[in-house]
Amino acid sequence: MKLSSFLITLLLLIALSLLAGCQPETERPTYTIGYMNCNSEAETIQRFQPLTRYLGEKLGVNFKLVPVDTQDFPERFKAGEFDFTHTNSLLYIILHKEAGLSLVATERRGEYGSRTAGAIISRKGSGIKTIDDMKGKRMLFGPQLAPSGFLAQYDLMLQAGFDPETDLSYYGIPHGSFKHEKVVYGVYFGAYDVAAAPALDLETMAAEGKIRADDFNIIGQSRIFPYCTFGAAKRLDTDLVNRFQRALLELTPEVTVELDGEVVKVLDGAWVDGFDQLVDSDYDPLREMARRANMPPYQEF
């Protein structure tokens, strides 16, 4: 009799502890991930919803996805709006220096894996084949805080003794979304003489058959540097950050989540091949570029 009451109590205790483990979503802690908009807010939400759901399931917490405009990112992060960040590598080094953002994982996508580069292109047959040939020409850049669409090319020209501010007749940045594609098409259709194209966008457009390799002269390409990066605010618990990192590094193309009744592949949905664990010093080539180009976080007036 005594033994059976002991067993019943034990079973009740086990059941209670199991129930405690299954914390309902409403009682889980909520953390915010700020995702930098690449092309548009709608695209950011569509791309990163499955990944955000996966991370929440894996860590047993709620994650709120917040699409953020690139220019607003530093200010909003410093105001404590985001616990985790997904930004380009230039924003990572800015937030690392100015607000103690720590490196979590780097996105792997395209030929260079977790690295990327910036290229300067002209249309084949234009006669513009070198940086010297660009004197007095019209150039189109990507957004100003884009490492592979602005900084890399700006630095490439400076290193060749070419000052974009005085040696080009004009340079501009396209309006609205899908700036990188607009830049490539700007040269393709002859509206501009040269353009600052991210290597990844050229590669994707060639793979999709939108452009042909023979359509362009590649005047120059920067050295490679890290691609888009996940970071964590310094106030976060180390164990949470480590689990977040592990969840990203363990992601394989087969991992799926259910979203609005649909089973979605997480990496495919985010247009990502996987995640790599880099170290902060891997970002030094980009820091050198930012210093030479007098750009944040090293800008001096």
Q: Is residue 209 near another protein by the rule CB under 8 A? A: yes
**Choice between 25 and 268, CB closer to another protein:** 268
Residue 157 is a binding residue for another protein (CB under 8 A)? no
Please, what is the minimum distance in Å from the beta carbon of residue 175 to another protein?
27
Residues 170 and 255 sit within 8 Å (Cβ to Cβ): no
289, burial (CB in 10 Å: exposed 0-12, middle 13-18, buried 19+): buried
Closer residue to another protein, CB minimum distance, 11 or 207: 207
Residue 87 vs 114, nearer CB to another protein: 114
Closest by CA to 84, choosing from 242, 225, 227, is 242
Which 8-state DSSP code applies to residue 297?
A: T
Under rule CB under 8 A, residue 202 binds another protein = yes
Smallest distance from another protein to CB 202, Å: 6
Q: Residues near 88 by Cβ (< 8 Å), separated by ≥ 6?
A: 36, 70, 145, 146, 147, 148, 227, 228, 229
Shortest spacing between CB 181 and another protein, in angstroms? 15
Span near another protein by CB under 8 A; candidates 79-87, 108-116, 181-189, 226-234: 108-116
Choosing from 151, 221, 231, 295, the residue that interacts with another protein (CB under 8 A) is: 221
Query: Which of helix, strand or coil describes residue 239?
Result: helix
Q: Is the peptide bond before 297 cis (omega within 30 degrees of 0)?
A: yes
Q: Of residues 224-243, which lie at the interface with another protein (CB under 8 A)? A: 224
Judged by CB under 8 A, does residue 278 bind another protein?
yes
Determine which residue in the list 83, 107, 181, 203 makes contact with another protein, applying CB under 8 A. Answer: 203
The least CB distance from residue 253 to another protein, in Å, is 14
- Does 194 bind another protein (CB under 8 A)? Our answer is no
Q: How crowded is residue 171: how many other Cβ atoms within 10 Å of its Cβ?
A: 17
CB of 221 to another protein, least distance (A): 4
Query: Is residue 112 part of the contact set for another protein (CB under 8 A)?
Result: yes
Binding-site residue total for another protein (CB under 8 A)? Answer: 26
CA–CA distances in Å: residue 65 to residues 85, 117, 246: 10, 28, 19
Evaluate whether 272 touches 107 at the Cβ level (below 8 Å): yes
Site mask for another protein (CB under 8 A), range 240-269, x = bound:
---------x--------------------
How many Å from the N-terminal Cα to the C-terminal Cα in the chain? 84
Residue 38 CB, nearest distance to another protein (Å)?
A: 20
Strand partners, 67: 35
Question: Counting Cβ atoms within 10 Å, is residue 262 exposed (0-12), middle (13-18) or buried (19+)?
Answer: exposed
Q: Which residues in this chain contact another protein in the complex, by CB under 8 A?
A: 111-115, 117, 119, 199, 202-203, 206-207, 209, 212-214, 216, 218, 221, 223-224, 249, 276-279
